[in-house]
Amino acid sequence: MSRNTDAIAAALRDHLPGGAAIRAVVPLTTGFSNETYRIEGPDWILRLPPSAGAMVEGHDVIAQARVYAALGEVEHGPPVPGIVAICEDESVIGAPFFVMECMAGEPVAEIQLQDWFTGPDDAFRTQLGRKWIAAFASLAKLAPLVTLGDPVSPEDDARMWQGFARKSGCADVVAAFDRLLAHPAPLSGPPAIIHGDVKLSNFMWDDGSLSAVLDWEMALNGDPLADLAYALLWVESPHHVAATPHRQPGMLDRAAIIEVWEATSGRSSAGVGWHEVAQMGKTNAIIAEGVAMFTSGRSDDPKLAVFQKNLDYYLGAMHAMLDAEGL
C-alpha cells in the first residue's frame, strides 16, 4: 500500500517544530522493513513502519528512535543521526514515526556500485574497508546499552531465529539450527552492543570518511562475535561467494577483516565459526519467510520470486559451514 506523501508533508508541517519549512516528503526506501523518506526543506529523514507488513520483527520505529537517541549519548559511540522528533500518536500521519537528521554522504550500493567507490585506487577501498570493520568492532569496547534490554546469549538468539524459520514452515533451516545448537557458543568476553546488520550498505560515507551508522533495527546486547561473523558472510569463503562490493580490488579479505576486528575490539576471534553458522542461519530464516510470503500469496512482490533459489544456495552453504566446523 502506497502512502500519500502530500498528506504526510501537510501533517508534519502542522505537527513538527520548524515544520513550516517542509516543502515535500520523498520516498527513499519502502517495502518489508522500516521505510525511509526524505523531508525536503529542513533536510530531515522520516522513518515509518513498513506499509507492506514487516518480513522481520526487529525493533519497531519508536524503539529504534530510542536506540538512536541513546547511542547519541554514548561517549566514543558510533556516529548516528540526531533525533528531531518521536511520535507515537498514529493519528498524526497514520502510523508511529520518528524524524532524524540527514547525514552527509551515502552508503555503498549493494549492486550498482557508485563511481566514487569504484573509481579511486585500491588503497581507497582498503581504507574504507578498515574503517567499516573498526566502526562496529569498536562497539565491543562499549558497555551494554540499557535501551536494548538484558543481554541475549548467542544460543538464545539462534533459537529465536530457529523459531522464526519454524513459523515460516522451513524444516530444513530448523534442522540446520539443531545441528548448531547441539554445541555451545564460544564467547569473546562480556556482552556489549551488537548492531545486528553490519552490511556495508548500512554505513554512510562522505568523501571516504564514515559519517553515520544506520539501521539499528536488529540491535541487541550480546557477544560481539555476532557482528564479526555477519560481516564475514559478505566476503568470499570456501562456502559462499562474495557480495558485489567486496569483489572490488582493495576490499578486505577474511583474514584482513579478522585482523582489524581483533586489533580494534581487543578481543579474540577464536570460535567465530560457530557464530558464522548462526548468522547464516539467521539469513536463511529471513529468506525462508520471504519464500513463505510469496508462495502463500501474502505478497506478490516480484523480488521474492527468486528467494527459493537463494534459500537453496545459502542452506547448502550453511551445511558446508557446519561440516567445516565439525558441528
Which architecture does CATH list for 5-102? Answer: 2-Layer Sandwich (3.30)
DSSP symbol at 33 = S
Rounded distance between C-alpha atoms, residue 197 and residue 175, angstroms: 24
pLDDT score for 195? 98
* Placement of cell 536506540 in the chain: 67
Is 107 in contact with 202 (CB distance < 8 Å)?
Answer: yes
Per-residue pLDDT of the chain (327 residues; tens, 9 = 90+): 478 999 999 999 999 999 999 999 999 975 567 899 999 999 999 999 987 666 776 668 999 999 999 999 999 999 999 999 999 999 999 999 999 999 999 999 999 999 999 999 999 999 999 999 999 999 999 999 999 999 999 999 999 999 999 999 999 999 999 999 999 999 999 999 999 999 999 999 999 999 999 999 999 999 999 999 999 999 999 999 999 999 999 999 999 999 999 999 999 999 999 999 999 999 999 999 999 988 988 888 888 889 999 999 999 999 999 999 999
How distant, in Å, are the alpha carbons of 27, 35, 79, 225, 268 from that of 48? 11, 5, 21, 30, 38
Residue ranges of the chain assigned to CATH 3.30.200.20 = 5-102
What's the pTM? 0.95
Which architecture does CATH list for 107-325? Answer: Alpha-Beta Complex (3.90)
pLDDT score for 30? 57
Rounded distance between C-alpha atoms, residue 73 and residue 69, angstroms: 7
pLDDT score for 33? 75
How distant, in Å, are the alpha carbons of 7, 80, 97, 122, 215 from that of 35? 16, 17, 10, 34, 11
Q: In what order do the strands lie in the sheet with 106-107?
A: 106-107, 203-206, 209-213
DSSP per-residue letters across 143-172: PPPGGG-S---HHHHHHHHHHHHHHTT-HH
How distant, in Å, are the alpha carbons of 41, 289, 290, 313 from that of 298? 37, 11, 10, 23
Residues 6+ apart with CB under 8 A from 46: 8, 12, 25, 36, 37, 38, 39, 97, 98, 99
Rounded distance between C-alpha atoms, residue 214 and residue 70, angstroms: 14
Is 22 in contact with 41 (CB distance < 8 Å)?
Answer: yes
**Cell (9 digits) for 50:** 513498513
Residue ranges of the chain assigned to CATH 3.90.1200.10 = 107-325
**Cell (9 digits) for 93:** 500521519
pLDDT score for 1? 46
Helix, strand and coil percent figures for the chain, each rounded to 5? 45, 15, 40
